[in-house]
Amino acid sequence: MSAVPSLSSQTDRRSAAVERAVDVLISSRGHADPTRLERACALLRQRAPLHWVERSGVRPFRAVTRYADIVSIETRSNEFAAGPRTYLASETSEAVLQRVTGKPQLVRSLTEMDPPDHGVYRGIIQGAFAPPVLREMETWLSQWAAEIIDRVSARGAVCDFAGDVALPFTFRVIGRMLGTPEADDARLARLAQAFVGAEDPRRRLAEAPGDTMRMAMLALRDYFEAVVADRRAQPRDDLASLIAHAAPHGAAMPHYELISYFILLVTAGHDTTALALAGGLAALLAAPEQMVRLRAEPELLDPTIEEMLRWTSPVRHFMRTAVCDTEVGGQRIREGDALALFFHSANRDETVFEDAGAFRIDRSPNPHIAFGRGPHICMGLQLARMQMRALFAELLRRTERIELAGRVRRVRSPFMSGVSSLPVRMSFRALRKEAAA
């Protein structure tokens, strides 16, 4: 007769399973295996949605994995601050940053700011992302999407969609808005990706992740210091001129915040959208019946884009710090507690999304939070949607078939998540030649 496991042993196993799930969630390798990650997130949502995490080398925090809890925290900015701890970093990395910058963060941009600075600094360029202004870009975006596909088709049938299409497409959009030349795109993109993905060996500039971040930051600083000097001498109609001449609170922007502003734009301004594009195509290739339906029903492109955003959730997390004793999801939160909000897990929450583990291009409603929620919601959300719409519309128009042509690789980063390499083989239609004839 077999012994019945004791209540304490069952509790110990459940606790060990939760801790293993946390390890998957917070490790730089955790998002490299989507299936393992989904299991870990599901377990945490069910058993420990606000789990207190203590790990050697990392300051304690709560891992928040449920949709309702994350939305609650994001929309209570009077109770939860964005700074000074904005993303998960080891104590060693934090010490390095303090030595390099004299600050608790490597940069201080909009994502690290709270009122009153956040609203003032956000207002500097917010007008450039207003719908009427963005609509003026639609024709150019369509032309740029066609040009990118032209370049790829001229080189042959096989390409890395992530590196050859998504990355240069999205970076030129933010480069055009900033006013930087296309000749600088490849170098700036390399530096930006190293800055946010220093733990990925394919993105590193040096052996150690900390050295990579520091080198990338210094190179970006030097580049944009020159841009600022140029725009202050000769202003132009671009975002670089707006930032260079900005006077938040009635005074010139401090140098640290000035350079941070540019670094935010060249990182968040392209990498997240590029990851959504590559991850979105990968999802379609993994669910070929969805691709067939999208080709047959092009009116589903907009809901497809929303599903791609939910599915990819390129930003893994942001952190918030409780500024007072409060409560979330029935659990007491103490003043000073740090909380890591895992957006990818929220966007798979079974209580919000029916059949959450399936990629469905007709999903409706689709209240995903890939762009965040509350005061820190991504300023460029409409621009990201426009870019995805323009590129996929052109891709569907120009190709008869797209198939996987190699191994899919994913970003290895504690902050960013998604497909970094997507080898594909594309069969192109001869539309332009037919039009010319």
- Measured in whole angstroms, the distance separating CA 430 from the mean position of its chain's CA atoms is 35
> What is the C-alpha separation between 403 and 394, in angstroms, rounded?
17
> What is the C-alpha separation between 326 and 334, in angstroms, rounded?
6
Token pair recorded at residue 188: 């700036």
For the chain, give the number of residues: 437
Residue with tokens 């377990």: 43
Is the Cβ–Cβ distance between 416 and 316 less than 8 Å? Answer: yes
Is the Cβ–Cβ distance between 313 and 344 less than 8 Å? Answer: yes
Is the Cβ–Cβ distance between 428 and 398 less than 8 Å? Answer: yes
Of 329, 328, 371, the closest CA to residue 79 belongs to: 328
Of 152, 69, 82, the closest CA to residue 115 belongs to: 82
In three-state secondary structure terms, 286 is: helix
Residues near 342 by beta carbon (within 8 Å), at least 6 away in sequence: 25, 41, 63, 64, 65, 70, 316, 317
- Chain segment 214-245, per-residue pLDDT in tens: 788 889 999 999 999 999 999 999 999 999 99
Is the Cβ–Cβ distance between 361 and 290 less than 8 Å? Answer: yes
E-assigned strand segments in 278-372: 317-322, 326-328, 331-333, 338-342
Per-residue tens of pLDDT for the chain, all 437 residues: 455 566 566 667 788 999 999 999 988 777 778 899 999 999 999 999 999 999 988 899 999 999 999 999 999 999 999 988 888 877 766 766 666 655 555 678 888 889 999 999 999 999 999 999 999 999 999 999 999 999 999 988 899 999 999 999 999 999 999 999 999 999 999 998 888 765 666 666 655 666 777 788 889 999 999 999 999 999 999 999 999 999 999 999 999 899 999 998 998 888 899 999 999 999 999 999 999 999 999 999 999 999 999 999 999 999 999 999 999 999 999 999 999 999 999 999 999 999 999 999 999 999 999 999 999 999 999 999 999 999 999 999 999 999 999 999 998 777 888 999 999 999 998 765 444 44
From residue 403, alpha-carbon distances to 33, 276, 296, 427 in Å are 21, 18, 17, 9
Residue 300: half-sphere exposure toward Cβ, Cα within 13 Å: 17
- Chain segment 196-212, per-residue pLDDT in tens: 765 666 666 655 666 77
> pTM of this prediction?
0.92
- Considering only the C-alpha atoms of the chain, give the largest distance between any 2 of them, rounded to a whole number of Å: 87
> What is the C-alpha separation between 150 and 285, in angstroms, rounded?
21
> What is the C-alpha separation between 241 and 258, in angstroms, rounded?
12
> What is the C-alpha separation between 436 and 281, in angstroms, rounded?
30
